[in-house]
Structure 1
Amino acid sequence: MTLLEQLEITQEIAKLKTEKNAVILAHNYQVPEVQDIADFVGDSLGLSQAAAQTDAEIIVFCGVHFMAETASILCPEQRVLLPDLEAGCSLAAMIDAEQLRQWKAEHSDAVVVSYVNTTAEVKAESDYCCTSANALKIIQAIPPEQEILFLPDMFLGAYLEKVTGRKMHIWPGECHVHAGIHPREIDAMHAIHPEAELLIHPECGCSTSCMYYQATGDSKGKVHILSTEGMIQHARRSLAKEFIVATEVGIVHRLQKEMTDKTFYPASERAICQYMKKITLEKVWISLQEEIYEVRVPEPTASKARRAIERMLALA
Structure 2
Amino acid sequence: MKSIQERIGELKEKKNAVILAHNYQLPEVQEVADFVGDSLGLSIAAQKTPADIIVFCGVYFMAETAKILSPHKKVLIPDPEAGCPMADMLPLEELRKLRARYPQARVLCYVNTHAAVKAECDLVCTSANAPQVVERGFAPGEDVIFVPDQYLAQYVASKLQRTFILFPGYCPVHVAITENHILEAKAQHPEALVLAHPECRPEVLRHADQVLSTEGMCRYVKTSPHRAFVVATEVGIIPRMEKENPGKRFFPAFSGAICENMKRTTLEKVLVSLEEEIHEVTLPQEVIEKARRAIERMLELSR
Whether contact under 8 Å (2:181, 2:253) holds in the other structure is yes
Distance 1:212 1:53 in 2: 38
User: 1:238-288 CA distances to partner (integer Å, 9 max, x unpaired)?
Assistant: 000000100000000110011112111111110000100000011000100
Aligned to 2:88: 93
- Give the counterpart of 1:77 among 64, 72, 79: 72
Distance 1:153 1:191 in 2: 30
Aligned to 2:270: 284
- 1:262 maps to a residue whose letter is K
Matching of residues 27-176 of structure 1 within 5 Å:
27-141=22-136, 142-176=138-172
Once the two structures are TM-superposed, the CA of residue 102 in structure 1 deviates from its matched residue by 1.1
User: 1:8-47 CA distances to partner (integer Å, 9 max, x unpaired)?
Assistant: 1000000000000000000000000000010000000000
Structure 1 residues 121 and 294: alpha-carbon distance in aligned structure 2, compared to 1, 3 A threshold = same
Gaps (5+ residues) in structure 2? none
Once the two structures are TM-superposed, the CA of residue 210 in structure 1 deviates from its matched residue by 4.4
Once the two structures are TM-superposed, the CA of residue 212 in structure 1 deviates from its matched residue by 3.7
Q: Secondary structure at the match of 1:137?
A: helix
- 2:16 maps to a residue whose letter is N
Aligned to 1:220: none
Aligned residue pairs, count: 301
Whether contact under 8 Å (2:57, 2:78) holds in the other structure is yes
Once the two structures are TM-superposed, the CA of residue 213 in structure 1 deviates from its matched residue by 4.2
Aligned to 1:218: none
- Give the counterpart of 1:309 among 295, 298, 302: 295
Once the two structures are TM-superposed, the CA of residue 209 in structure 1 deviates from its matched residue by 2.2
- Give the counterpart of 1:197 among 193, 205, 219: 193
**TM-score if structure 1 supplies the norm length?**
0.94
Distance 1:139 1:61 in 2: 29
- 1:121 maps to a residue whose letter is A
Identity, % of aligned positions: 52
- What is the Cα-based RMSD across aligned positions, in Å? 1.1
Distance 2:77 2:155 in 1: 32
Distance 2:8 2:205 in 1: 44
Whether contact under 8 Å (2:236, 2:258) holds in the other structure is yes
2:258 is the alignment partner of 1:262: no
2:237 is the alignment partner of 1:241: no
2:251 is the alignment partner of 1:299: no
Distance 2:204 2:60 in 1: 31
- 2:75 maps to a residue whose letter is V
Gaps (5+ residues) in structure 1? 215-222
- Structure 1 segments of 4+ aligned residues over 3 angstroms from their partners: 210-214
Whether contact under 8 Å (2:56, 2:75) holds in the other structure is yes
Distance 2:191 2:248 in 1: 12
Q: Secondary structure at the match of 1:264?
A: strand
